[in-house]
Amino acid sequence: MARVAVLLGGLSPERPVSLSSGQGCAEAVRRLGHDVIEIDPQNPGWIADLKDARPDKVLNALHGEWGEDGRVQGVLEYLQLPYTHSGVLASALAMDKNRAKAVLKQAGLPIADGRLMDRREAARAHPMPVPYVVKPNTGGSSLGVFIVREGANRPPEQLLDPDWSYGEDVVVEEFVGGKELTVAVMDGRGALAVTEIIPAGEWYDFNAKYAAGGSRHELPAQIPEDVAARLMKLAEDAHAALGCRGVTRTDFKYDAARNKTIVIEVNTQPGMTPTSLAPEQAQHVGMTYDELVGWMLEDASWPR
């Protein structure tokens, strides 16, 4: 039996998602027979609590800023604690959409055309021909993301909101239509499957991701076999290009009419909630939720 610290909650706007992921993981670790300590970095004394707990391993179930951008990973490296998912550099790279796109492009992966801008500059006038997408340069769960469609008179006014909490830099990039697809990758096992995400609403926003009935998952995706094989290879290549470890999930857009595929982003700490995609794909290939969590613990190491 191991003593496992589960990091959950945290400080980012994705805190509710992390709490759900963390609770699910903690319950699985207990079912696997291990001793669990739940630690929420929202508590200013969390580092001292972690040191006092003396865990054998740390399961990082944090999402968003501080949780998956390399900073918590740096703390765990300093404390010399074996932990799950990607290390400092891969986490920081994947979280920074602009830099991640540069690395992926250099590796020969297909990405959307776009550029990094200050949010206020992006709000003055259309920075590129419509339709286009505006998204925070850091962050996840589709928070602060807008699709500016044909006929829009101006960019999203929310970019000028004084309560905006998603950072000053945004990525503005071409909108690519078609299917929303995603592929989970496990170190040593490779890509698991291709899922098509069919949102109940207009697009795959926060509610579509996490609300009950917000989206439907088609697994395996109903796409040609050669396209599925290409997507799985691209997900493995993206995982490797960023230097990721453990489990990742790479999101794609696939426009069948133009036979165009783009990598949207690589998630270094995929959600582990009841509606999350990575555990669903693991189950599709014969691995239960508990077995996936057990694999994460076995894969945990220091240094990452």
Residues taking part in catalysis: 14, 141, 210, 249, 251, 265, 267, 271
**Whole-number Å distance between alpha carbons of 43 and 208:** 30
What backbone phi and psi angles, to 5 degrees, belong to 259? 50, 45
Segments in 134-288 forming alpha helices (H): 206-210, 225-241, 277-284
With beta carbons less than 8 A apart as the criterion, state whether 62 and 9 touch.
Answer: yes
DSSP track, 29-98? HHHTT-EEEEE-TTSTTHHHHHHHH--SEEEE---STTTSSSHHHHHHHHHT--BSS--HHHHHHHHSHH
Give ∠ CA 180-64-21 in degrees, rounded to 5: 80
**Whole-number Å distance between alpha carbons of 134 and 75:** 32
Q: Which residues contact 133 (CB under 8 A, 6 or more apart)?
A: 112, 114, 145, 146, 147, 148, 172, 173, 174, 175
Integer angstrom CA distances of residue 207 from 19, 131, 214, 240, 252: 16, 22, 6, 30, 19
What backbone phi and psi angles, to 5 degrees, belong to 56? -75, -35
Parallel/antiparallel/unpaired status of strands 35-39 and 3-7: parallel
